[in-house]
Amino acid sequence: MTLRTTVRREQIEGEARSQLAILADEVRLHRKERDLSLEALAALSGVSRSMISKIERGEAVPSTAVLSRLAEALGVTFSRLMAPETEREVLLIPAARQPVLRDEASGFLRRCLSPVLPGRGIDWVLNTLPPRASTGEFVAHRRGVSEYIYVLKGRLQAVIGDRVLVANAGDSLYFEADAGHAFTNIGSEPCEYFLVIDASRLR
């Protein structure tokens, strides 16, 4: 292994630790703001008390499904748990500062592209699914939350409630997200797609 490779790996590991620390702080902050005990949040989210405790201590990387359940139970967006709030009207987010969450089991990668702004309910995410990998099922959002998808490359199977749809590169998809939903890459190459979660009608 070259020195350059070693340094780069250390940089990536450092960024991952930093992201875990932010996630830990944000989950704990929102739980305490709502005066919820670990047990109460576990009951609301369906995530075990021990897992929530590990997340808040920065000792566990939650799957995307777990993070989705926590965000829904806390009444915040996915991005809000990944980054602190900002009040800037114009904001450039360099690629190196965009929060990234990788599901260790599936390799599913979520890159948050939208800033966390006060009073907004929009998440803009770039997702990458390895071949044949699945996101797992996302919990139903509250009524009024909708999602928009645009497939950049690959083939994406979407299961929304009892409906199954396949979106190819260049296709777009819209759905009301108050039903359970899951996505699978049914192709032989990585599938990349933009996802916008719009919860602005709840505000």
| Domain count across the chain | 1
Between CA 1 and CA 4 the distance in angstroms is 8
Residue 1 has pLDDT above 80, yes or no: no
Higher per-residue pLDDT: 17 or 125:
125
| pLDDT given for residue 18 in this prediction | 75
- Decide if pLDDT at 107 tops 90: yes
At 131 the pLDDT is: 98
Beta bridge pairs of residue 111: 100, 126
Percent of the chain whose predicted confidence (pLDDT) is above 90: 48
Task: Tell me the per-residue pLDDT of 111-132, one tens digit each, with 9 for 90 and over.
Answer: 989 886 666 678 899 999 999 9
Whether residue 26 is predicted with pLDDT greater than 90 in this model: the reply is no
- Region 173-195: what's the mean pLDDT? 96
- pLDDT at site 42: 93
CATH number of domain containing 77: 2.60.120.10
Whether this model's pTM surpasses 0.85 = no
To which H or E segment does residue 197 belong? strand 191-198
Domain with 95, as residue range(s), is 3-202
Convert the pLDDT of each residue in 45-99 to its tens digit.
999 999 999 999 988 888 878 888 898 888 887 777 877 666 666 778 889 888 8
Mean pLDDT for the chain?
Answer: 85
Residues paired with 184 in a beta bridge:
134, 157
pLDDT at 2 over 90: no
Classify burial at 185, counting beta carbons within 10 Å of its beta carbon; exposed 0-12, middle 13-18, buried 19 or more: buried
Angstrom CA distances, 186 to 64, 106, 141, 150, stand at 19, 14, 25, 16
Task: Inform me whether the pLDDT recorded for 28 exceeds 80.
Answer: yes
Kindly state the percentage of the chain with pLDDT values over 70.
Answer: 85
